[in-house]
Homo-oligomer: A and B are copies of this chain.
Amino acid sequence: MEMFGDNCCPPPCNTLGFLQKNNSMEEKGRLSGQKNLLSCDNSDRDARFRRTETDFSNLFARDLLPAKNGEEPTIQFLLEVVDILTNYVRKTFDRSTKVLDFHHPHQLLEGMEGFNLELSDQPESLEQILVDCRDSLKYGVRTGHPRFFNQLSSGLDIIGLAGEWLTSTANTNMFTYEIAPVFVLMEQLTLKKMREMIGWPGGEGDGLFSPGGAISNMYSVMIARYKYFPEIKTKGMSAAPRLVLFTSEHSHYSIKKAGAALGFGTENVILLSTDERGRVIPADLEAKIIDAKQKGCVPLFVNATGGSTVYGAFDPINEIADICEKYNLWLHVDGAWGGGLLMSRKHRHKLNGIERANSVTWNPHKMMGVPLQCSAILVREKGILAGCNSMCAGYLFQPDKQYDVTYDTGDKAIQCGRHVDIFKFWLMWKAKGTVGFEQHIDKCLDLSQYLYNKIKNREGYQMVFDGVPQHTNVCFWYLPPSLRGMPDGDERREKLHRVAPKIKAMMMESGTTMVGYQPQGNKVNFFRMVVSNAAVTQSDIDFLIDEIERLGQDL
């Protein structure tokens, strides 16, 4: 096992040698034509690993473990990759680095210098593989950069990253305790903790981590159907009356997608009207329930959104729950985006009533900064997930194992193999404590309020809705000077509709920042700013506003 020589003390670098890469090479993103050098300059970054002098140009994947004598090249190769990754991590947090280096699809497909996406029959050297790794990062997008505001998921949590590296190395599957004992237990304990925060008595209930909020929401519809019409599992939807689902017109499109996939049909997903802040109007729900019943449909399921995608709106859960109780409907809360606020004593009141839900979607990979993917579906009634989905495959869920097979949770899922999404989250919770998540959430909401205060009365800005945002979403139009005096009307609307896409395109071309935009209902394109990255400061908010004005002033 000991194969790295007898001497743990590194000799001077000009005798043993440390791989040095000069900066310009790194900027070019390749090693091509350069062998490992023994030079000793004052760039010490790459000297941090005691690498042997490894010429990767003559090494191939077949030389790595499990190859004979593969241990040393394996470790050397992994260290080289880690060097690329740690440099990427450093730069991600460095505001002098661009968020992205944009290229059009045809440009990347034609092949950038030395970076060819095409696959071939013959292997590439490990040197080229390392170049490919560098270039894949170089032409990507730094979603952890403090000025990347484009998505609800952003940031690069170091503990979460370490957790994900470990998960990859463990390379196992969640379906049985047999092959994932530690991860299965972590999942159970973490889900219980999440249920306690929801407020279900004793944290009782059920749940799973699923591949994203859309699938978690799909689970909620499936189990609601199973609860009220269990015979559909065997007989299909034709055994049931025409079932309808209710969700806000501001809710995530995954509810509609689930309606289509599960055989309800999108026409049977009834959209609820909202107030000007994007919150469901409970009276509209009740009216539409009554209307559906009069049409001979059977109302089944109501989705209340806890933090909508665009406005960050929180539906009034308690009022919706009253109606669900009255009509005996399943109440789901889609807290994919807003669920994290349960961790904040200051903000959790926005989810008041969530304890009355039958199921909850909560994505730690959004507001809580856990690396992608990490989404939980939580269910108040124990056993119903298994009832809904189990098929009792004998080859996987043998009843005659030597351990307590109630820990084999795979049959509750619609997946067979299931990626280990729990470890990074568990590790982050250990490392930060509940209080760490709370501080993170409070800080992000404070930053959003800072932005809101900054622009609400600023010349050239118009808020999409009035009042302090409920979540970190701040929705606004930027009006270039040329539009400011223009009277409201079609021409102004059409021009304004084109402003955000133009600014966004210029942002991406210059690589300085990224923020989302979209139309909503009859509202033309507006910016949706969100904060979920722990690296963001007020200066980054200021930078975004400066950048919008710099790029947009002449439009």
Contact = CB atoms under 8 A, between A and B. Distances in A.
Interface string A497-510: 01001001100110
B129 A151 contact: no
Interface in A234-250: 234-240, 242-243
B151 A117 contact: no
A85 interface: yes
A12 interface: yes
A200 interface: no
A245 B41 CA distance: 68
Interface string A513-531: 0101111100001001000
Given A94-B1, A171-B144, A414-B261, A117 B186 contact: yes
B9 A47 contact: yes
Contact of A373 (B150, B262, B417, B501): B417
A431 interface: yes
Contacts of A151: 173, 179
Nearest to A163: B133
Nearest to A255: B391
B90 A45 contact: no
Contact of A179 (B4, B150, B389): B150
A485 interface: no
A121 B519 CA distance: 40
Contacts of A144: 171
A50 interface: yes
B42 A8 contact: yes
B263 A77 contact: no
Contacts of A132: 427, 430
Interface stretch (A64-72, A287-295, A460-468): A64-72
Nearest to A395: B518
A77 B82 CA distance: 12
A123 interface: yes
B181 A416 contact: no
Given A44-B6, A265-B234, A400-B501, A429 B119 contact: yes
Given A141-B181, A161-B168, A414-B257, A401 B9 contact: no
Contacts of A257: 389, 391, 414
A550 interface: no
B237 A236 contact: yes
Contacts of A401: 501, 504-505
Contacts of A122: 433, 435
B165 A168 contact: yes
A407 interface: yes
Interface in A100-122: 102-106, 108-109, 117-122
Given A81-B165, A129-B431, A190 B143 contact: no
B47 A49 contact: no
Contact of A166 (B137, B268, B402, B433): B137
Interface string A477-514: 00000000000000000000010010011001100001
Instruction: Count chain B CB atoms within 10 A of each CB in A43, A122, A168, A434 and give the residue with the most.
Output: A168
Give this chain's copy count. Answer: 2
A299 interface: no
A69 to B, nearest CB: 12
Contacts of A141: 172, 178-181
Contacts of A431: 60-61, 123-124, 126, 129
Contacts of A235: 265, 267-268
Contact of A109 (B183, B185, B509): B185
A305 interface: no
A372 B71 contact: no
A222 interface: yes
Interface stretch (A152-160, A322-330, A352-360, A446-454): A152-160
Given A165-B81, A182-B139, A535-B66, A398 B109 contact: no
A242 to B, nearest CB: 6
A162 B179 contact: no
Interface in A412-431: 414-420, 423, 426-431
A105 B185 contact: yes
Contacts of A42: 6-8
Contacts of A20: 8
Contacts of A159: 61, 64, 129
Contacts of A375: 417
26 contacts: A5-B44, A8-B41, A8-B43, A48-B79, A49-B49, A50-B50, A61-B428, A62-B432, A64-B159, A66-B146, A78-B162, A117-B185, A121-B433, A123-B433, A128-B430, A129-B159, A140-B170, A143-B170, A161-B169, A171-B372, A173-B372, A234-B266, A235-B267, A236-B264, A237-B264, A266-B391
Given A121-B434, A143-B171, 8 more contacts: A64-B158, A85-B169, A89-B169, A119-B429, A136-B183, A150-B179, A215-B415, A372-B420
The 10 A-B pairs at the shortest CB distance, nearest first, are namely A263-B263, A236-B265, A402-B505, A66-B535, A237-B237, A237-B263, A164-B168, A8-B44, A211-B211, A61-B431
